[in-house]
Structure 1
Amino acid sequence: MNYEFDYSIILDEYYFRRLIGGIETTIMLFGISITGGLLLALGIVALRSSPCQFVSIPTKWFVEFQRNVPLLVHLLLWYFGIASLLPAVIIDFANRNSAEFVFGAITLTLYGAAFMSEDLRSGLRAIPQTQFESARSIGLSFLQTMRLVILPQAFRHALPPIISQSLSLFKNTSVAAAIGVGELMYRAREITTETFRVFEAFSVATAVYFTGSILIVSLGYVLTRWLRIPGQASQ
């Protein structure tokens, strides 16, 4: 039996609006996780660089745990495990604001932060130790040195791999469908269940993910050129 392609069902107002809602949720999930992940990554790098082992060692193990356990396991652990251990006020807040989305965003944020912190640490290693020593010699504290001198330069060095991690994080938003987050993949799967138009629904989802990925890569290229370190060779 020959399969006849028919996008008219997928583009019907009812299903099209559901796809648009899935796209909006995907963008929100990605926006929260990339922003929160990057800010958290900066904090992780500062803590891991601390001379105090009571701070640096637990942070190191947090990063290793996040990086060496599959994202799906983290997601299920948060949604079915850790969520039940949280104070009632936090659980009530999550339930009022879609618990699936809240814990999906938390999982992706922590997961992305661990990987981006390693990229930033690689950027740190590209900065001469003399800059750290000079900043401390003029009276800056350790945290001031990291925030004002070291981390801004490390970010410029680490930007290309951070863009790569951002791309992975955008695609990994689809994993949130496993706990019922109404993002793009979840909506596409719903539509295929109701209409049996498998190729049409998932080809639209594929096109959206591809377009989003191209936009992220293009933005990364623009940022890399804008923030290029003086004297750095053009790509």
Structure 2
Amino acid sequence: MDALLHGFITATARLGLDYCFLLDDYERVPFVQGLGVSIEIIVSTMTASAVAGLVLLLALRGRNQLVAGLARGFIEVTRNTPTLVQLYCAFLVLNMLITQWLRARSIDNPLKPFFWVVLVLSLHKAAFHAEALRAGFDALPSQTLEGAASLGLSRATRFWRIELPLALRAALPALVNNMVELVKASAVASAIAVGDVTYESIMIWTQRDNVLALMLLILAFFGVLTWLVTLAGRWLERRYRIPGYGY
């Protein structure tokens, strides 16, 4: 492995790329840890945003008009404001207010920057998930819904057993696209000093001035992750394709 690493560094040096930091434990270890933190953020936000998106959908389709109106307002505000601004508002304003309130009671704030990144990204992308699912519900054939109702199934049974599974299949392309966007959006974590791959790269290139080399690594990292998400999404689309639709 050491021989391969030295060979890689030597070969890329001929192209003007400086990857010597990979030989320094002081810099290599944080960088590798940053890769892991980025993956943790992505996995956490994918899971949380999917759950939050379903909750928003339930609120939108519920019978309580007040709850539906609040859900619609949240979606519009979230979709129409930048993710970075939302993150700053949450971390620099809301988190500071929570810290001051807890400090007055001699309690340390347990909410770390990682939490705020996951929370903001999850809620931001949940708004897009809810809209994608809403479109999936709107695409359901009316005959299918009428048939389910004619069988005497309850509203909840129709939703969980018939409408939601079909709507998920119809919304899969949009949902996968949202997940791809989420992978890329995870890079905003560096804005509040979360030690992800972007933040650790910034720390390295401020010392070594090897911005191009590290930017290429970051691009490759996110490129591979988005490619894997896309492959998984295409497999799901083929696996859960509705027979008779789209072909």
TM-score of the two chains, using structure 2 as the length reference: 0.84
2:110 to 83, 87, 93: 93
Shift of 1:8: 2.4
C-alpha separation between the residues in 2 aligned to 1:149 and 1:224?
Answer: 18
Contact persistence 1:23–1:184 (CA under 8 A)? yes
Structure 1 stretches lacking a partner, 5+ long: none
| Residues 46 and 143, structure 1, Cα contact 8 Å, conserved in 2 | no
8 Å contact 1:72–1:175 — kept in the other structure? yes
Matched, 1:163 2:180: no
CA pair 80-112 structure 1, distance change in 2 beyond 3 A: same
Question: CA separation in 1, counterparts of 2:78 and 2:217?
Answer: 31
- What whole-Å deviation, never above 9, does each CA across 1:111-158 have from its counterpart, x for those lacking one? 010011111111011113444455455555444432222111111100
Q: Are 2:52 and 1:40 equivalent residues in the alignment?
A: yes
Who is 1:184 aligned against? 197
Aligned amino acid, residue 108 of structure 1? L
Which structure 2 residues correspond to residues 81-160 of structure 1 after superposition, within 5 A? 81-86=93-98, 88=102, 92-94=109-111, 99-136=112-149, 138=151, 140-160=153-173
Q: Which residue of 2 aligns with 1:24?
A: 36
- The CA distance in 2 between the partners of 1:32 and 1:175, in whole Å, is 15
- Structure 1 residues 37-82: Cα deviation after superposition (integer angstroms, max 9, x where no partner): 1111111112101232112111100110110010011101110122
Q: Which amino acid in structure 1 is aligned with residue 240 of structure 2?
A: L
Moved more, 46-55 or 118-127: 46-55
Q: What is the match of residue 52 of structure 1?
A: 64
Moved more, 151-160 or 128-137: 128-137
**1:19 Cα shift?**
1.7
**Greater gyration radius:** 2
Indicate the SS of the match to 1:232.
coil
Amino acid at match of 2:116: F
Q: 1:11 to 1:147 in 2, by over 3 A?
A: farther
Structure 2: 5+ residue stretches without partners: 1-14
For residues 4-34 of structure 1, the C-alpha deviation after alignment (integer angstroms, 9 at most, x for no partner) is 3222234533322222111111111111111
Among 18, 26, 34, which residue is 1:6 paired with?
A: 18
CA contact (8 A) 1:78 1:107 kept: yes
What TM-score results when the alignment is normalised by the length of structure 1? 0.88
Provide the C-alpha distance between the structure 2 equivalents of 1:36 and 1:91, rounded to a whole number of angstroms: 25
Backbone CA RMSD of aligned residues: 2.3
Please give the alpha-carbon distance, in whole angstroms, between the structure 2 residues aligned to 1:218 and 1:122: 23
Q: Cα–Cα, structure 1 residues 49 and 133, in superposed 2: closer, same or farther, change >3 Å? A: farther
Give me the whole-angstrom Cα distance separating, in 1, the residues matched to 2:28 and 2:77. 39
In structure 2, give the amino acid aligned to 1:198.
Answer: V
1:132–1:51 Cα change, 3 Å: farther
Instruction: Please give the alpha-carbon distance, in whole angstroms, between the structure 1 residues aligned to 2:23 and 2:235.
Output: 34
d(CA) in 2 for partners of 1:20, 1:144: 47
Correspondent of 2:238 among 225, 228, 233: 225
Distance 1:173 1:222 in 2: 24
State how many pairs are aligned: 229
